[in-house]
Structure 1
């Protein structure tokens, strides 16, 4: 090594290298693509949120003497959680695989906790709905409805923890705000179902839930995208933009007092917006797993930040 070369190195000159391309061996992604079926798991995310928030709305309707609203919410919770379980089992392949998850309870595993949560929550919603329709065993039905309402917020949000507890970049990096996004989305879905199915005179709580849920969903989602940086790019897709527009317009209509027809339009928009959000979040995560840059670039940025802190 010449003296001139040593002096140049001492001045801190850096070698010039070509800009990195984000590819992997044989063109395969850095991460394995999630093998979950889109219709099954995105539908499971949507229906679980609808069920949990509907149980909370049903308890509020009973407490304020709105029996028609309470019945719609109870039936919605029971139907949604039953369909949600059906989609989950369909994705697993056979019912025995879901039952196998109940052989142990692992508090550190969102999947294990979620399985036990659904196993306890689903019978409560079915009992509450069945006793309401039959008009018998009302004391048992009220106890079941109240218990379902206690578990409802957890049922609405635990799926956000479930998908964020993975290596998928756009899911994992959203772990702080995603439960709040799902809470708002579940609230708008439950309110939308109530506006479609309940008499207009009893939908006051549903209208308020729609406005508050939309504010929480849209606000938390925008905060999440600002904080995430590069891994927020997959969330800038048409489906999620449509979800935000549907939710905002549905909440605006729900805030206006009107007859059955405007309420039904608002409810349909809220249901569609909530479903679009869950499907959009699912597809955004899959897209981030398939593109190596969403794994490589944030890792390099974190390493650089740690090096600066160490210096």
Structure 2
């Protein structure tokens, strides 16, 4: 038997029940983990640039921010897993084809590097080793900032999976925007130029890639415009674009605009992560996001076979 056909291009499951199991992840834990991890990774990249260009205040604040954010990310992840040993169990093997396995190893490498770099800078000990760790944290941080996009896209959740080509770029831009925004809010104006540029550049990438994701033509993109997810994503764009404009036009001269604009961009980044999370959950509740694309692929394959036969 097959799902009951209601009218062309509309299908449902038996009794209208969801085909996919709704993710049991907590939005606060997982969306928070994704946001904080991206913030940490991009902050390490910003810190390495400040370290190289001789901006000590921006360097210190970015390194401390990176350590704080990755600690919060780890707490959220472990809280969702329930027991710390579940994370340690993921390190018993390395599977290159598994984003979850690779992500666990990336976090395990990045965390100590970020911690050592921040400790060296704040305490003034082992400066050469601290700077080397800062460079290592920046390299690993690039992966930390983006791998969660690959992780979500590798699931069967329709909205996330359908965005697999663009979601890592959305998260990369979002991570850069949040790190640059908070860096611009915390650093002295005289040293904050790289943070402002990162925030504005990240905001541009985040916004453009988000529009591309939302207008991909996939049926599941409906969830990005509806309900709680739609509200969060609209707010995200307002905060991100508004903050970026404030930073670009007045962040260099005004401490108030630098702070408010930076925090606005960071808030937009956080809202984006929560919006994408909610959209994915919503797409598992309606069977049409699974059945309709499957039927379209079957019909397309049948038409191709028929045309070859003719």
Moved more, 250-259 or 37-46: 250-259
Structure 2 partner of 1:62: 51
Is 1:307 equivalent to 2:302 in the alignment?
Answer: yes
Q: Is the 8 Å Cα contact of residues 12 and 287 (structure 2) preserved in structure 1?
A: yes
TM-score under structure 1 length normalisation: 0.92
Do 1:174 and 1:228's aligned partners in 2 also have CA atoms closer than 8 Å?
A: no
- Paired with 1:156 and 1:166, the residues of 2 have a C-alpha distance of 18
| Structure with larger Rg | 1
TM-score with structure 2 setting the length: 0.92
Residues 1:238 and 2:231 aligned together: yes
Which of the numbers 248, 259, 265 marks the counterpart of 1:255? 248
- C-alpha separation between the residues in 1 aligned to 2:6 and 2:292? 16
Figure out how many residues of one structure are paired with residues of the other and give that number. 295
| Corresponding residue of 1:288 | 283
Q: Deviations over 1:163-206 (max 9, x none)?
A: 11011000000000000000000000001111121111111001
CA contact (8 A) 2:162 2:218 kept: no
SS of residue in 2 equivalent to 1:227: coil
Task: Tell me, yes or no, if structure 1 residue 205 matches structure 2 residue 200.
Answer: no
What secondary structure does 1:136 align onto?
coil
Residues in 1 aligned to 2:67 and 2:45: alpha-carbon distance in whole angstroms: 12
* Residues 273, 18 of structure 1: alpha-carbon distance in 2 compared, 3 angstrom cutoff: closer
Q: Distance in 2 between matches of 1:295 and 1:167?
A: 9
Q: Distance in 2 between matches of 1:297 and 1:119?
A: 40
- Give 2:96's match in structure 1, choosing from 99, 107, 111: 107
Counterpart check, 1:216 vs 2:209 = no
Q: Is the 8 A contact 1:49 1:155 kept in 2?
A: yes
1:94-143 CA distances to partner (integer Å, 9 max, x unpaired)?
10101111111111111111001101100000111111111121101100
RMSD: 1.3
In structure 2, C-alpha distance between the alignment counterparts of 1:303 and 1:206, rounded to whole Å: 49
Tell me the SS of whatever aligns to 1:102: helix
The correspondence for 2:262, drawn from 231, 252, 267, is: 267
Compute the displacement of 1:231 (Å): 1.0
1:26: Cα distance to partner? 4.5
- Does structure 2 retain, via aligned residues, the 8 Å contact 1:188–1:270? yes
- Give 1:22 deviation, angstroms: 4.5
- Consecutive unaligned residues of structure 1, counting only runs of 5 or more, are 1-16
Q: Is the 8 A contact 1:23 1:29 kept in 2?
A: no
Indicate yes or no: 2:65 matched with 1:76. Answer: yes
1:255 match: secondary structure: helix
Aligned equivalents of 2:15 and 2:71: distance in 1? 43
Shift of 1:27: 4.2
Structure 2 gap ranges (5+): none
CA shift, 1:308, in A, is: 2.4
Question: Shift of the alpha carbon at 1:70?
Answer: 0.7
Q: CA deviation at 1:18?
A: 4.5
Is the alpha carbon distance of 1:109 and 1:241 closer, same or farther for their aligned partners in structure 2, counting shifts above 3 Å?
Answer: same
